[in-house]
Amino acid sequence: MTDALSVADLTDVYVRLDCDLLVVGDSILTDRHHASNGNYDADDPQNQIGGIIPAYPLSGWLRHGMEKVVQQHGHTACHPGESTANFMKADVYDRDLEAGYHEKGACVDDTKVDDGCVIFDLFGGFEGIPGKLMRRPIKFSPVRASVDYTHGQAEGHYRRLNRNVVSRNPEDHREPLRNSGIDAVANLDGCWHLSFREPNPAFLGLLAEAIDFLKRNNTEFMHQLGGSRNFGAGIVYCDLINPLYEDRELDRVFDRGKGSTTAMDEKDKRWAENHRPEIEDALAARVGSDHE
C-alpha cells in the first residue's frame, strides 16, 4: 500500500467487519486447549479464548452480496450450485434460475474455460477451475493488543452459549427437555483479508459495491451472516478499508483513541473521487460483456 499504487495492480484488500454477535454453528475453531490446562470452564467470563472463524460462512455471505450487485446491474449471476447436482429441492433451483441466476458454468464458452462470468471467475467453477478470490479465515483474540489488523485479524470474544428447550407444563418448573450449545463470537471487530489471485479493477468494483450493499441491508434476514438471525446475530457493519492506507493507517482505523489523520482524509477523498468511479466503471464494463 503506497502512494504510487495503481488500482490495476491491487491484489490485497481488507474489509472491516463489526458485529455484536456472530454465530456460525459449531465451526469456530478455538485455541482454548492452550490456556485451559485441564481446568477449562466454558462459562467462565475470565476465559481468554481466541480462535479462528472459518471463511465458509463469510464467503457465502459475500458471494450473495456480489450476486445481488450483478443483478442490480441488470444481469444474471452464477448460481452456486451445479445444475446437475442432486438437490433436495430441484424446483427451488429452477425458481432461482427464473429469479436472476444462470446455471453455474452456463456462462463458460465451451472453447474457452477462463471465460466465465465475474462471479464464476472469482469463486471458481467445476473441478479444476479455481476461483481468483482467496477468502482467508479470520483469527480473533479477546486481547486487542495482540490483534494484528494488518494480517486480517480481529478482536472477538468467544463464548459457548447454551440454550434449553423447557417443558411448558407448570408443574415441571421449566425442566429442560433438550439442551443445545452453540459457538458464538461477541463484539467482533476487525479485518477480513481478501486476496485476488490476479489484479482486476472490475473485481475491486464488485467487492466495493457488494460491501456497500451488505452494509445497507445488514438487518435483512437474507443478508445477515451466520445463524441465529432472528435473535439479532450476524448483523454486520462492513466497510472496504481504503486500499490506499498504509499499515499504520489501517491500525488507526481500529484505535478508538485516535481519529483519522489528514493524510488518511486525503486518501479517502482520492479513493472516493478517483479510484471508486474507476473500479465501478470497470465492473459495469465487465458485467456488460459477460456471457450469461
* Minimum CB distance to Zn ion, residue 76 (Å): 8
* Minimum CB distance to Zn ion, residue 116 (Å): 5
| Residue closer to Zn ion (CB basis): 87 or 126 | 126
203's torsion region: left (phi>0), alpha (psi -120 to 50) or beta? alpha
For the chain, report the end-to-end CA distance as a whole number of angstroms.
35
Under 8 Å between Cβ of 32 and 226: no
* Minimum CB distance to Zn ion, residue 130 (Å): 15
Query: What's the CA dihedral at 202, 203, 208, 209 to 10 degrees?
Result: 70
| Residue closer to Zn ion (CB basis): 100 or 137 | 100
| Residue closer to Zn ion (CB basis): 102 or 157 | 102
Type and span of the H or E element at 276: helix 276-289
| Residue closer to Zn ion (CB basis): 120 or 254 | 120
Residue type for position 95: R
| Residue closer to Zn ion (CB basis): 78 or 240 | 78
Under 8 Å between Cβ of 210 and 65: yes
* Minimum CB distance to Zn ion, residue 289 (Å): 13
| Residue closer to Zn ion (CB basis): 7 or 78 | 78
Binding site for Zn ion (CB under 5 A): 78, 107, 117, 120
* Minimum CB distance to Zn ion, residue 67 (Å): 10
Closest alpha carbon to 188 in 140, 150, 149, 224 = 140
173's torsion region: left (phi>0), alpha (psi -120 to 50) or beta? left
Under 8 Å between Cβ of 154 and 189: yes
Type and span of the H or E element at 19: strand 12-23
* Minimum CB distance to Zn ion, residue 209 (Å): 17
Helix axes 201-216, 55-72, angle to 10 degrees: 100
